[in-house]
Amino acid sequence: MVRVYARAKLPSRHGDLEIVSFTTRDGQRIDDIAIIAGDITGKSAVPTRVHSECLTGDVFGSLRCDCRDQLELAIDRICSEGVGLIVYMRQEGRGIGIAEKVRAYELQDSGLDTLEANVHLGFDGDLRSYEVAASMIQALEVDSVVLFTNNPEKVEGLQANGVEVERREAIISESREENVHYLMTKKAKMGHIL
């Protein structure tokens, strides 16, 4: 479904990484990228995080969620192990986009939880797809992954699209007063293993 378009060194505060961009088979560039530590080509049990973009958390440090914490934990893990993969998917707000995510935040400020807010706006609770993420992993010639996730649907989504997930490893950060309700909703209503 996708192929590697460009690769470049990405020195970071976490360590020396590589960034990879992709195109569709017909040459359309996509905005999803991969971050790599070490040599993953042809490797099995590659430590991997499929991370959905969270502009408010990843960039602005929002405390409403645990997204940035999970991303940083994953990057630290792959850098400390010297090998690994972050698949960064542009699926903001579980696929509803940043404008609708801000509307969902507004509803959460009025008392709805994260799932209720998305449904109130007319969306399913989670619109993310893992077909492109799986294709990116395959384009990087990874044989199998150890997936850093608390979301069983992510494991199922990758497996359904041909990625061998050897095992799931939890990626849990400390909760805060600002995100404890969010985390409880993910556990109780979305099946996350926390």
Residues noted as catalytic = 126, 128
Angle at 168 between CA 97 and CA 93, to 5 degrees: 10
Q: Is 87 annotated as a binding residue?
A: no
Q: Is 53 annotated as a binding residue?
A: yes
Q: Are 43 and 140 in contact (CB under 8 A)?
A: no
Q: Is 52 annotated as a binding residue?
A: yes
Unique residue bearing structure tokens 């560039």: 29
Q: Is 92 annotated as a binding residue?
A: yes
Give the containing element (helix H, strand E) for 188: helix 180-190
Q: Is 67 annotated as a binding residue?
A: yes
Q: What is the dihedral of CA 57, 61, 64, 65, to 10 degrees?
A: 40
- DSSP code of 125? S
**By three-state DSSP, how is residue 162 classified?**
coil
Q: Is 79 annotated as a binding residue?
A: no
Unique residue bearing structure tokens 């020396």: 16
Q: Is 9 annotated as a binding residue?
A: no
Q: Is 154 annotated as a binding residue?
A: yes
**By three-state DSSP, how is residue 14 classified?**
coil
Q: Is 23 annotated as a binding residue?
A: no
- Which residues participate in the annotated binding site? 49-54, 65, 67, 70, 92-94, 114, 149, 154
- Which residues participate in the annotated binding site for Zn(2+)? 54, 65, 67
- Which residues participate in the annotated binding site for GTP? 49-53, 70, 92-94, 114, 149, 154
